[in-house]
Structure 1
Amino acid sequence: MDLTLVSALAARDGLIQPLPFLQRRAEKSSATDTSSLADIGQEEYARLKNHVQEVVRQQMNLEEVARSRDPVIRNRFKSIVLRAMRDLDVRVASLAVPALVQRLFDDILGYGILEKFFFDPEVTEIIVNGTRVQIMKRGRRVFVQERFESVEQARQVVERMLAPTGRRLDLANPRVSARLFDGSRMMAHIAPCAVDGVLATIRRFRQDITPEMLLKNRSISREVLDFMRACILARLNMVIAGGTGSGKTTFVNVLASFIPHDESVVTVEDTAELQLQHPDVRRLEGRPPNIEGKGEITLRDLVKDALRMFPDRIIVGECRGEEAFDMLQAMNTGHPGSMTTIHANSARHAINRLVNMVQTAGMELPRDAILDQIADAVDIIVFILREKSGRRRLDHVVEVVGPERGADGIIRDVKLNVLWQYNPKTDSFEWVAKEFKRAEILAEKGGWRCPYLS
């Protein structure tokens, strides 16, 4: 039994008097002061930190360090800190001990000055650029007051983030993409790629985004949301398009919550980000090549694997290349109701992006054949964006009507029909279509009857 830990907990709860090594010197005493750094000073904190760091190095192996967020490991770390305080005669008020332990954990096993931002639900992006830190909160990027002491310290924190993922960041591999413990996605670079020594961009995904939250944030209207739910129930194939940080992944998460629970879903992602609220989800994640350039698992490989897993629907987190061809094949061959996201500036631009991506698959298909496949496979394209104010919202929804042929009979484009359009003057979403090709399907299978057509 760790008597030091038990004593500290008992003192915290008022069961016994604090042990001498936990007490603050009388001349600095303040019953309500919980600032450990003010208690011991920077020099004494550095001495304690170095001691704890050395003990951790001796007593914890790499696997345990990688599992630093395990409650058992955290308790071991706390015990090490309390012993170190006793051995070094570091005296602080019992109320200040938890803050001191947490600060040491952040600096030694955690993410240092970044730690607190991982537990702020409103922070959606964390950027480390050299020693400076920038966050995105409520849609706005701001620099925070905290800074790393050096580029080396910043790099050490980034490497601690990567440790549990098995990814490496060194001169031979100065750029890496990884998924962190909470599902966040990190893209990190070091010199020579990063001019300022280290550059890490961490995209966090809020767990509390629900259909109701989208409505509260005015990202969508109740009428459009009901329409989108009907599209999911009717198993229409959908493409979610938008720019970087526009909320495509979040939107897919919300839409997937409408998928009936008796259907099976397979997700395919380069770095797993989707967090579908569904009981039957099988997740596949790609893998980059190792340092020898071997072992890569591409999205195209995984989409092909997904087709052999007999799911009801396939969701590709983001189509960026040749996997678009296989995604269209999935939509056309027994997997209606599938979804994917792509980077595009509009629904029309999404068509061109799909064509370009399919052409990279090396199938030597002519453009008109690709357009024909897109017209057959895709039913609905949703375009979303992020405003300068930071608000992420739907901008327009279109249905794919079919191939558009020239006078010579060759397919020149894909005909689109704009259904919903955001009106900035009224800050509302309006139905603008005079006809709707899939009206009967949505009424029959989705339970949505269009009230806007005569």
Structure 2
Amino acid sequence: MNFTPPRSSLINRLQKTQGGQPTYSPNLDTSLNEVRKIAQKRIQELFQHSIMDPRSPEVRQRARSLVLQILMDSDIDMPRPTQIAVAEEIVSDLLGYGPLEPYFNDPEVTEIKVNRYDCIMIEKHGKETKAEVTFRDEQHCRDILERMLAPTGRRIDLASPRVSARLPDGSRLMAHIPPVAVEGTTFSVRRFKKGLTAEDLIRSRMFNEETLDFLAKCVRGRLNLICSGGTSSGKTTVLNVMAGFIPEDESIITIEDPAELQLNHPNVRRWEARPAGVEGYGEITQRDLMADALRAAPKRIIVGEVRRGEAFDMLQAMNTGHDGSMTTLHANSAEEALNSRLVNMVQMADMGLPYEAIIGQIAGSVDLVAQICKDRTGRRRLDHIVEVVGTEVVNGRLVVAVNYLYRYDREKDTWVRTAREFARREKLAWQGIQVQY
């Protein structure tokens, strides 16, 4: 972990002139780099045998105090507030995620995208803006990426120039380096808000009380649910909240790649797929975990996201005593999810099923699809809810038939019910669950 960089963004700010005169000595760069080297050595000595998380508040506070003492002992002339700012930057470089550290501490940041070492984009409230900070150079960017990957057990190098990993705080990292990344290291970090409740979704206008109450009753009534939508539309967030409506006496197994769900439920076994190791062995796929889950006797199976052949196993689970199972997938509409995306993914399982058999299996397994979207304002919201009501022939082609239950009305900025009756009302009524539909 060697840092001999050109000037940082903070040092640049410290070198700004006031009234035409330099605020600090022209040798500030050299002096602060010397402080950095001394601090690096002292911090390594202090924490080399420690089992504490280097990003924990306790470790950072001790390191910050150490750097401040080094600054005070040096001949650098700067006021106390500036010393604190400089110490914070040095500690973030040596123990944290460098210039990205403040964004990991900001609960409003949902995406961090590094397009190049000198171009970082931050997403807040659905809107992207360019960050004021940058990495010092390509090597600094790569050093921070390596530090982020270190506790995950994943690696990135010329032999494997791309990686997907779950960071210790639950964020999802996707990174690429040359030769895959043409202009240098790029990576994105998707962050998930923790502890979101149903009330939070209503408050943010992702749902209203009626639509969320309807889905909650369907979950308690053990209907199989798919949350579909585009990238970063909020599917995982919805799945987290929906799982909170599952009764506590029903066991759950979650299967993900990578793990993102943070279920507020006392009876959960969390499983995560993993890639092959350096030797090319040891890969465990979501399909492998699905096969294990069917033998592990859960009441419900939740697949974080189906992308390939595991869709076939998910449908099998929904049809073999695991009622109330849930998953997410990428699709532009509920009908596309059922009649295109799911069909394609089941075909990836190479089971040799004809198209008609796949359509029949989907129609017999899935009960509801909730389509989530991210509109032009950056707001994440429910777009529509459909119920699967069998199959039908459209233009000479067999498709999954759906009944639209709720649609978002843009003019009224609310969700409206359709006139058609909810076909599964009686199934819920047998369990003592009444829906006003």
TM range (shorter): 0.7 to 0.9
| Residues 382-430 of structure 1: per-residue CA shift (max 9 Å, x gap) | 111100100011111011111336899xx81211111111111111101
Residue 342 of structure 1 corresponds to 329
Q: CA offset at residue 307 of structure 1?
A: 1.7
- Report the more deviating stretch, 175-184 or 306-315: 306-315
> 5+ residue gaps in structure 1?
1-36
Cα displacement string for residues 26-80 of structure 1 (whole angstroms, at most 9, x for unaligned residues) = xxxxxxxxxxx9899444322211222234455655x859931245644653465
Which one of 258, 263, 266 corresponds to residue 250 of structure 2? 263
Q: Distance in 2 between matches of 1:205 and 1:381?
A: 22
What is the aligned partner in structure 1 of residue 12 from structure 2?
none
Taking structure 1 as reference, are residues 407 and 194 closer, same or farther at Cα in structure 2, changes over 3 Å only? closer
Once residues 68 and 108 of structure 2 are traced to their aligned partners in structure 1, the CA distance between those partners, rounded to angstroms, is 33
Matches within 5 A, 1:117-196: 117-131=103-117, 132-196=119-183
- Specify the SS of the correspondent of 2:381: strand
How far apart are the structure 2 equivalents of 1:407 and 1:221?
A: 36
| Aligned amino acid, residue 187 of structure 2 | A
**Residue number among 209, 221, 229 corresponding to 1:242 in the alignment:** 229
Match of 2:387 among 365, 380, 399: 399
> Structure 1 residue 447: deviation in Å?
2.4
* Residue of structure 2 in register with 1:370 after alignment: 358
Matched-pair contact (CA < 8 Å) for 1:227–1:448: no
What secondary structure, in the 3-state scheme, does the structure 1 residue paired with 2:416 have? Answer: strand
Residue 289 of structure 1 and its aligned partner are, at CA, apart by: 1.6
The amino acid across from 1:388 in the alignment is R
* Alignment partner, residue 447 of structure 1: 433
Deviation at 1:97, TM superposition (A): 5.8
Cα distance in 2 between the residues matched to 1:350 and 1:224: 20
Question: Do the aligned partners of residues 212 and 303 (structure 1) sit closer, same or farther apart at CA in structure 2, a change above 3 Å counting?
Answer: same
> CA distance change for structure 1 residues 406 and 215 in 2, over 3 Å: closer, same or farther?
closer
1:222 maps to which residue? 209
Equivalent-residue separation in structure 2 for 1:395 and 1:285 (angstroms): 30
- Give, in angstroms, the shift of residue 248 of structure 1: 0.3
The correspondence of residues 77-156 of structure 1 with structure 2, limited to 5 A, is 77-78=63-64, 80-81=66-67, 84-85=70-71, 88=74, 99-131=85-117, 132-156=119-143
- Residue number in structure 2 paired with 1:24: none
Q: Deviations over 1:187-213 (max 9, x none)?
A: 001111111201101100012432112
Q: Distance in 2 between matches of 1:441 and 1:209?
A: 30
TM-score, normalising length from structure 2? 0.88
Partner Cα distance (2:410, 2:206) in 1: 13
8 Å Cα contact 1:185/1:202 also seen in 2? yes
Change (3 A) 1:310 1:97: farther
In structure 1, the partner of 2:317 is 330
SS at match of 1:245: coil
> What residue number does 2:401 align with?
415
What corresponds to 2:377 in structure 1? 389
Root mean square deviation, CA, Å: 2.5
1:288 partner letter: P
Match of 1:436 in 2: 422
Q: What is the CA deviation profile of residues 184-238 of structure 1, one whole-angstrom value per residue up to 9, with x for unaligned ones?
A: 0010011111112011011000124321121112111111111001101100000
Identical columns (%): 49
- Whether 1:69 aligns to 2:55 is yes
Give the corresponding residue for 2:16: none
Give the AA of the match of 2:146.
Answer: E
TM, length-normalised to structure 1: 0.85
Mapped to 2, the partners of 1:431 and 1:248 lie a distance apart of: 22
Q: Are 1:191 and 1:198, in contact at CA under 8 Å, matched by a contact in 2?
A: yes
Change (3 A) 1:141 1:38: farther
Residues 1:380 and 2:368 aligned together: yes
Give the conservation status (yes or no) of the 8 Å contact 1:417–1:433.
no
Q: Structure 2 counterpart of 1:194, which letter?
A: A
Alpha-carbon distance in structure 2 between the residues aligned to 1:420 and 1:308: 36
TM-superposed deviation, 1:149: 1.5
Paired residues of 2:363 and 2:388 also in contact (CA < 8 A): yes
SS at 1:310's partner residue? coil
Q: Is the 8 A contact 2:24 2:77 kept in 1?
A: no
Number of corresponding residues: 412
